[in-house]
Structure 1
Amino acid sequence: MQSAVQIRVMGVPSVRIGGQVAHFRTRKALALALYLALEGPQPQDTLLELLWPDAPNSGSLRTAALHVRQALGQEAGRLETHWCGLSLDLSGAQLDVWALGGLDAGEALAWHHGAFLAGLYLRGNATWDNYLTWRGETLRDEYDQRLARLFTAAMQSGDFAQASALASRRCDLDPLCEVACSQWASALQAAGLRRRAQDVLAAFAQRFEQMFGPASLPTLRAELPSAQPAARWMVGAARA
């Protein structure tokens, strides 16, 4: 059964009420609703410092809260006012990032891993920009950790094609992640794709050298599951 309230924060953000997109009069009203959905109840001072850092005014917050209630329509009562701040009741609602920790391999590979709150910038507000960066990084890390656990499970079950896809996605998130690159090469080697594994290691070596210089180039190797002979491919050999 579809939830009455569906909130998306990965990619272009949206709030749906009864399957229909809720329209917010201002970007700050949408930012307020999404921040409360993600971070829980907040005191008034915190919200003022976040959304109006240069001119904190309780009247601005009251107006934004009114706009949130108007956008929520029949679900307006979910925005609750407390003596010191605001909260958004998400009972029975769906928030896309709640699913991160329980994604299966197929869901993880289909997960929208684009920018957090894409396009929701508040002009001249460095405080909000810092929040976007911090929360976006924490969600990316959570997604990466889920991919890593699913990779281990796929390797243990012998599904090397799936393991390769999962490790490849980790490399998409961080092209300079040594562990993810080694895991991708390991999965490819286990699947019998030695040349492709060499290409992955060589591409990583090139990226790393371009970014940090040859003196800092790490030594990578593809590690096969314990049931198979260990392979030791050095990055230098792959580049040769």
Structure 2
Amino acid sequence: MKYYAIIVAGGSGNRMQTETPKQFLLLNNLPVLMHTVKAFALSDSQPKILIVLNQEQHNYWARLCEEFNFRIPHQVIAGGTERFHSVKNAIDSIEEESFVAIHDAVRPLISKTLIDSCFNKAVELGNVIAAVQSSDSVRMLRADKTSALKRNEIYLVQTPQTFSLPVLKEAYRQEFNNSFTDDASVVESIGYEINIIEGERNNIKITYPIDLELAELLLKK
């Protein structure tokens, strides 16, 4: 079985209150994106790694790879205007029959175990996404009124989100829609049911400054 990992690294530094895009910030003296790539390279699945970057960041990434002596094999793909288009560009570059894991570049603490479990379950079920059950009470706001939701029915979606290549190619032939918040929503919109695998609490997404501090603590632990 052939495996691919698409690592989507199109984020800006806006919510981090920095001009440096989040994927390039230093985490334990190494850019966040390099931690993420290493996680996939160390997995038993050994996927071919595609990094999707804004075209303007390709040279910067190449300089970082030289500076940090980063030699893990990977291919850099040009990003698009939306995440949807970035993922589509990467999918279009894959031709051999395979299963493809799509992962946020700014989730650098993902474990080898979760990566391998996602690939294995996707082969078994056709697709799988990582998600964790909500540990907080949840309320929905609609028309200025709030209502309680059942906490045990709420899952917080993470990545990787892993699918067979034919399904991804079919799904990403659609036109972009603002309702597409992740790859699962793109695939679900053409009629596929989405399977969930238990994610990891440590698989945090670095969005705000506190997230980077937390990631540093988790790495040291």
The structure in which a higher percent of residues are helix is: 1
The structure in which a higher percent of residues are strand is: 2
Instruction: Indicate the structure (1 or 2) with the bigger Cα radius of gyration.
Output: 1
TM-score (norm 1): 0.20
TM-score (norm 2): 0.21
